[in-house]
Structure 1
Amino acid sequence: MGFALLGSLGSFVSVRDSHHWNVRFQSFTLKERFVVGFNLAKNFRAYKKFGRVSLCKSEFVDFEERKSPNEVRKEIEQCYELIQRLGRGVVYLGSSRMGPGHPHYSQTLELAREAIFTAWQIANLLDCSTWTGAGPGLMDAAIKGAQEAGKAVGGFKIGKEAGEWTTSKFHPYLPSETYLTCRFFSARKHGLVDAVVRSSSSDKTAVVALPGGVGTLDEMFEILALIQLERIGSELPVPFIVMNYDSFYAKLLDFLDDCEDWGTVSKGEVSSLWKICNTNSDALAYLAEFYDLPFLDEQKHGTKARSEKRT
């Protein structure tokens, strides 16, 4: 029997035996630990699904019985349903850490502007939906860029992104029917992958990896491995673009070159799976060539004018 613990002070749960639970709380502001012990009756299943334990007049801990396999499956199905409604398209991966306290805050602001222009251009070029993790930072920049282009936007959100101290199930401005807040990373990853799978030659999708940290790298290499193993794009290839703004990924690319020297990947294997682009124009030109679409100089000039107007 398992339970989910919700509480403003809570951080740890342990089970002493089948009917006795010990809940330990560690305060973020105090050094004291708070312990609440209680017994569960043998006929607990006959009680209501939710139980509540009072810590003080205003503090409660809620418990909910979980059956994770069924819940994960249900959440994956919800991801697929959302994609079917909004349509497959371009998935953006990127950093959520863009706060004023970041040591490279001014630089990341520029990267956010670049992401907006990229999303605006690609959404118009491919005429497709835009998908992100529905988080802050560069993900938010991609959302705004796609909205400016007047294209559909969808997202697979998680409650708390890296670097955030608070949890929220809601996006600040996206309509609730356009995104799903996932409790399980496996479901979220299924959604991000399925959103770029091409089911027909008329589908125009892509993966665009913006600068990011551990979470972004995790998503990048999972998708890269799926392409490598032909689990994605075996019949209809999917372009994978890495936006190397300001040589952000230079050391990562050097490491992958070292992997070739060590023999852990074949020569040219990784470079054949994705396209490294230093500018938005490089990315657009690559996508236009990939899908045999016109990419005119007027589009480049229009983008430059938009950039100058914003700055």
Structure 2
Amino acid sequence: MKKDQILDNKKILKDFKDAEKILKDLKNNVTIFGSARTKDVDIYAKLAQKLSKKLAKNDINIITGGGSGIMGAANKGAFKIKNIESIGLNITLPKEQTPNPYTTRSMTFNYFFSRKYMLVKYSKAIVVFPGGFGTLDELFEVLTLVQTGKLNRLKIYLVGYDYWKYLIKFFEKSLCANNMIQKEDLEIMTLTDDIKLIEKQILKLIK
């Protein structure tokens, strides 16, 4: 085995071990995904901050990818709530992915695949706000893991009706219509802009 392969294996193991140290003692967690590019004044950034604050006040820890934009807004919402962890699981990228200052626990991963898995492993629900390729990658990873039973039956919320509605139509008109997925697979997700509904349903899941 080549030396660089040995080093890579050590980095992979380190990713998982370090993340488990941060997360394993936490019970009630919700993961929030979304773009790193949105501004503080963006409507979805504001909704992410509002939702995370409401969840944190109900003793729910918030996990994000640790970057700016919607991730930073979500961490900010939970940051000042006592006895709650605002967690950022970051990764070094050439552009835009800089750690936000609103985390109480954080780490930087070496690899995307280990980061994506640890972002959701300990969570009871996933809330996906508008985002780009990275957010889509995270969404489809979770959908696949839940559909195939590799993760517990997590509930996934998509916030941003106008943003996501064409994706849902694609699922319905192409995937379902061609028997690539079952209709019940769509029940994994709820498309809504009603964060009160999301809060209520998540509290039922956890409590």
Please indicate the TM-score interval, normalised by the length of the shorter structure. 0.7 to 0.9
Query: Is structure 2 residue 68 aligned with structure 1 residue 139?
Result: no
Q: How does 1:210-289 map to 2 (within 5 A)?
A: 210-233=129-152, 237-243=153-159, 245-258=160-173, 259-266=175-182, 268-289=183-204
Q: Tell me which stretches of 4 or more aligned residues in structure 1 moved more than 3 Å.
A: 85-88, 170-175, 288-291
Q: How does 1:77-156 map to 2 (within 5 A)?
A: 77-87=17-27, 89-98=29-38, 109-125=42-58, 127-150=59-82, 151-156=84-89
Q: Quote the RMSD (CA, aligned, Å).
A: 2.5
Query: Is structure 2 residue 131 aligned with structure 1 residue 195?
Result: no
Q: Percent identity?
A: 24
Q: TM-score, normalised by structure 2?
A: 0.86
Q: Indicate conservation of the 8 Å contact 1:79/1:190, yes or no.
A: no
SS of equivalent residue, structure 2 residue 177 = helix
Match in the other structure for 1:40: none
After superposition, the C-alpha distances for 1:162-210 in whole angstroms (9 at most, x for unaligned) are: x52xx75x544535xx1011121122123112221xxxxxxxx211111
Structure 2 counterpart of 1:184, one-letter code: Y
**Quick one: distance in 1 between partners of 2:178 and 2:91?**
37
**Quick one: distance in 2 between partners of 1:207 and 1:213?**
17
After superposition, the C-alpha distances for 1:112-136 in whole angstroms (9 at most, x for unaligned) are: 11111111112223x1211100000
Q: What is the deviation of 1:84?
A: 2.0
Q: Indicate conservation of the 8 Å contact 1:131/1:195, yes or no.
A: no
**Quick one: distance in 1 between partners of 2:14 and 2:200?**
39
When residues 173 and 142 of structure 1 are mapped into structure 2, their CA distance, relative to the original with a 3 A threshold, is closer
Q: How does 1:40-55 map to 2 (within 5 A)?
A: none
**Quick one: distance in 1 between partners of 2:184 and 2:102?**
41
Structure 2 counterpart of 1:230, one-letter code: G
Pairs aligned (count):
204
Q: What is the deviation of 1:216?
A: 0.7
Q: TM-score, normalised by structure 1?
A: 0.59
**Quick one: distance in 1 between partners of 2:165 and 2:18?**
37
Q: Indicate conservation of the 8 Å contact 1:80/1:194, yes or no.
A: no
SS of equivalent residue, structure 1 residue 270 = helix
Match in the other structure for 1:68: 8
Higher helix proportion (structure 1 or 2) = 2
- Which one scores higher on RCO, CA 8 angstroms, separation ≥ 6? 2
Q: Which is higher, the Rg of structure 1 or of structure 2?
A: 1
**Quick one: distance in 1 between partners of 2:29 and 2:102?**
21
**Quick one: distance in 2 between partners of 1:186 and 1:155?**
16
Q: Indicate conservation of the 8 Å contact 1:208/1:242, yes or no.
A: yes
SS of equivalent residue, structure 2 residue 169 = helix
**Quick one: distance in 2 between partners of 1:288 and 1:154?**
19
SS of equivalent residue, structure 1 residue 149 = coil
Structure 2 counterpart of 1:191, one-letter code: M
Query: Structure 1 unaligned runs (5+)?
Result: 4-64, 100-104, 197-204, 294-311
**Quick one: distance in 2 between partners of 1:269 and 1:75?**
34
